[in-house]
Amino acid sequence: MTHEELRKKALKKKGMQAAFDELETEFSLLRRMLFARKRAGLSQAEVANRMGTKAPAIARLERSLGSGIHSPSVQTLRKYAKAVNCRLDIKLVAAK
For the chain, domain boundaries:
25-96
CATH code for residues 25-96: 1.10.260.40
Give tens-digit pLDDT for 7-40. 788 778 887 777 777 778 888 889 999 999 999 9
Q: Is 46 helix (H, G, I), strand (E, B) or coil?
A: helix
Distance, in Å, from the CA atom of 30 to the CA atom of 14, rounded to the nearest integer, reads 25
Tell whether pTM > 0.75: yes
CB 82 within 8 A of CB 71: no
